[in-house]
Amino acid sequence: MDMLMFQLQRNSTIPLYQQLYKEIKEAIISGTISVETKLPSKRKLADYLALSQTTVELAYSQLLAEGFIESRPRKGFYAQPIEELAYLEVLQDEPVIAEQVDYAFDFNPGKIDTPSFPFSTWRKIAKEVIDETNHEMLLSGHPQGDETLRQEIAHYLFQSRGVVCSAEQIVIGSGTEQLVPLLIRLLPKALVFGFENPGYPLTHNIFRHYDRKAVPIAVDQEGINLKDLEASQVDVAYVTPSHQFPTGSVLSATRRSQLLNWAGAGERYIIEDDYDSEFRYTSRPIPALQSMDMGGRVIYISTFSKSLMPSLRIAYMVLPKRLLPAYQQTFLHYSSSVPRLDQQMVARFMKDGHFARHLNRMRKLYQKKLEKLTSSLLLFAPVVKISGEQAGMHIVLTIDTTRTEKELIELAQQAGIRVFGLQSYNVQEQAVFPPQIILGFGGLSEGEIQQGVDHLMACWNIPIKKSSSSIKR
């Protein structure tokens, strides 16, 4: 027993059973407890160390699982021989834990209105799908995703975005960050990628991670700059034409035609990320680029992150028919990365009409939030100007101030308000005047939006103006 007289820290945040496990393990490794030494029973060791038997049992169970001790029927526990190098302790750096900030008002453009999600309908569908699950559903399924979901997506895309495709052209994956690498591997390695700047940082990082040459292309009020694109060596243009992130600009009709002509002039492709396409407020949704593509040069990508929920982790892409044979050959042995039950639930949700009804409700809800946000900001014109409000779930503020973007963000954070700077999405980040701030409104109620704007303007010392007619949109 003397060799087991450990100094356990009873006030430590580390559970007692973990401390006991570690002490016995180290004693066996160091030879303090020699091989074949019989350890005391759980009851005796608990009494000796003034611990509960449960604590000793948990420690012994972990030692058994890792092979440090052996349990012999009707005899007890015995220390086992251990390969010394296999159990050397490795010094590890302390994990870096990001500081958690509790914001009173979070204008994160990635958030959605979670209280409005139809949980009762979703639970009902989940139960139906599980009740109807057969043995075949336990297998991997089609590598491009279940055909039932791909058919529903094809139908939805035609009705809502004018996308003409078959279920065979659709590939389902767990997010854009999983599908884009597939495209990178599918397209010839010599091709040069171009991405919008400022733009969604995920794409920049993916291109860099896969060691593909990628260059930034400027964005203005009409979307990606075609002159800059044509002057570059880009072969594959990654664009968000329906509602550019983060500027909120919409690719003009003229530039849509120019972009398609650019792609058709050589062995070029367009990756159309249909970001926020479901939510347009000033007119009917603009047809997707893919619907105008006669040459099979547009690769269409979208997700259910905003239309349903980010945690669902279901995205999809529509491949041109010219790329389909190469994709199926290249990824012949791949399995779909999305669980089949989740796919079936979404397919049922769409087939029964719940998805269309949900989108209609959310479109009206987000439009009311947008109206509340813009009307609240009108009071602070002309110091504050709004842009990018035609679609999506965020707007851009241009602030007439001597402060920098960074200073505005820091002042907001000190006031418990989370906002984002437009230049933080620029790969050539620099101080730009006047500064521009992104406000997302999806995750806030109308009351929170009003209060958030009031607090934000107060921390920036922007006064209310009597007239708001001079604001520019």
Q: What's the CA gap between 256 and 293, in Å, rounded?
A: 10
Average confidence (pLDDT) over 228-257? 92
Query: Domains along the chain?
Result: 2-87 (1.10.10.10), 105-111+363-459 (3.90.1150.10), 140-352 (3.40.640.10)
Residue 231 has a pLDDT of: 95
Q: Are 239 and 259 spatial neighbours (Cβ–Cβ below 8 Å)?
A: yes
Q: Give tens-digit pLDDT for 134-162.
A: 888 888 899 999 999 999 999 999 999 99
pTM above 0.85, yes or no: no
| Arithmetic mean of pLDDT, 201-221 | 88
CB 423 within 8 A of CB 434: no
Q: Distance between CA 117 and CA 92 in Å, rounded?
A: 42
Which amino acid, residue 308? L
The upper half-sphere exposure of residue 120, i.e. CA atoms within 13 Å in the direction of its Cβ, equals 1
CB 315 within 8 A of CB 304: yes
d(CA 246, CA 468): 25
Name the residue among 203, 146, 211, 205 with its Cα closest to residue 173: 146
With a cut of 80, say whether residue 3 has pLDDT above it: no
SS3 83: coil
Mean pLDDT (the chain) is: 89
Residue 83's pLDDT band (boundaries 50, 70, 90)?
low
Q: Over range 332-357, report the average pLDDT.
A: 94
List Cβ neighbours of 123 (8 Å cut-off, separation of 6 or more).
none
Give the closest residue to 349 by CA, choosing from 117, 77, 101, 107.
117
| Residues 452-472, mean pLDDT to the nearest whole number | 79
